[in-house]
Amino acid sequence: MAIWNPWHGCHKKSAGCVNCYVYRRDESIGKDASVVAKTGDYDLPLKKNRQGQYKLAAEDGIVFACMTSDFFLEDADEWRQGCWDMIRRRQDLHFHIITKRIDRFAQCIPSDWGDGWDNVTLCCTCENQDRTDYRLPIFLSLPIKHREVICEPMLGEINMEKYLATGLIEHVSCGGESGENARPCDLRWIQEVRRECIRCAVPFTFRQTGAVFIKDGKTYHLERKLHISQAKKSGYSYIPNMGMADVIKYKLPDRGALFARLGRSDFRSRFHLSAKDKAYVTEKGIDTIRSHARDFVEKRLSAENPENDGKQTPMKGHPVFIAQHAAACCCRSCLEKWHNIPSGKVLTEGERSYIVDVLMEWIEREMHT
């Protein structure tokens, strides 16, 4: 990875900018980060060493542009064309441009941009639902070859599945906020975006926890050196068909506590076996119903990313279907939220057996009411 900062300084744009790390760093050395100035590295992509070789080489990996500003900042309009010229010239490099100003993109591209350049990835940041719903429709309407979404700092739960479903977004990353005044990031928010990415087969990276991280309702204050390592250790990053979720550590819920919780849910507790359902169970026998349950779990839930996940279990038609909704075993999202079984992994034999046991316990309870 390489960093190219052709100019420095920025103006705060939205909620994600409140605790901007550039402002914090500049303030610590008595500098005003709101002053935008061209840097000595403006022409870094064209600079060469004494051997006549480019200082930025292809083997250095991705070149992140404007990490201490915004590439589409109004103040930089007079300098941007020169940057495009250098990017065009260095086809051997791949440039990532991260922006909160995607609404200025169309007026800032070069005349030969066409439907995008192969060596440029645009990364649109979305820190909350409001900015997601404002920026992503614009982002998806623009002529761009490679698109990524960055939710850092993540300031609330975000639903972006309808945007991911377009197939135009290549990667999503999420993470918390660093710094002394960091706002909290909740693991539940990370998990929700991750589940949406899994359903849409979009690679996902849990980049960092941030300084204030909430997990299972408990708030943790983490040293800066732990933000990235703890996120990596969690195993929540995801690449389709790579088995990455197998390392996620979790604990199945206590069965009694689970059924008590299900009973308190207005939605889950409304499901009951009808007289017809009970007659079916009696006619077929409990062993046959268990066999049906195993079959449904295997075919509809076991895959890393089951087909039509979230919609694969009918609301009626079989006692096991009713049990799946009542016991929150109807889709992979519910399995994660209620049973802690991570999305994005092929279910093990032990996990499948656990789900079947829960379903059968619910059915047997119903048969005695």
Tens digit of each residue's pLDDT (9 = 90 or more) over 256-296: 999 999 999 999 999 999 999 999 999 999 999 999 999 99
pLDDT over threshold 90, residue 136: yes
Task: Work out the number of other CB atoms within 10 angstroms of the CB of residue 84.
Answer: 18
Q: How far is CA 233 from CA 203, 206, 207, 209, 227, in A?
A: 17, 10, 11, 11, 10
Per-residue pLDDT reduced to its tens digit, 142-184: 999 999 999 999 999 999 999 999 999 999 999 999 999 999 9
Q: Do 347 and 313 contact (CB within 8 A), yes or no?
A: no
Q: Where are the domains of the chain?
A: 2-247, 255-367
pLDDT over threshold 90, residue 328: yes
pLDDT over threshold 90, residue 38: yes
Model pLDDT, residue 25:
94
Which two three-digit tokens encode residue 42? Answer: 């403006």
C-alpha torsion angle, residues 157, 163, 164, 169 (rounded to 10): -110
Which two three-digit tokens encode residue 26? Answer: 């500049």
Which residue bears the tokens 């939710």?
A: 151
Average pLDDT, integer, range 348-366 = 98
Q: Do 177 and 214 contact (CB within 8 A), yes or no?
A: no
Closest CA to 36 of 23, 49, 46, 18: 23
Per-residue pLDDT reduced to its tens digit, 57-108: 999 899 999 999 999 999 999 999 999 999 999 999 999 999 999 999 999 9
pLDDT over threshold 90, residue 33: yes
Average pLDDT, integer, range 299-324 = 96
- What is the SS3 assignment for 178-210? CCCCCCCEEHHHHHHHHHHHHHCCCCEEEEECC
Alpha helices in 142-254 (DSSP H): 161-164, 187-199, 227-234
Average pLDDT, integer, range 3-18 = 97
3-state secondary structure of 335: helix
Model pLDDT, residue 298:
98
Closest CA to 176 of 236, 95, 134: 236
Model pLDDT, residue 290:
98
Alpha helices in the chain (DSSP H): 21-28, 77-89, 129-141, 161-164, 187-199, 227-234, 255-264, 275-284, 286-300, 319-326, 332-339, 349-367
pLDDT over threshold 90, residue 369: no
For residue 186, list its beta bridge partners: 214
With pLDDT > 90 as the criterion, what percentage of the chain qualifies? 99
Average pLDDT, integer, range 311-335 = 97
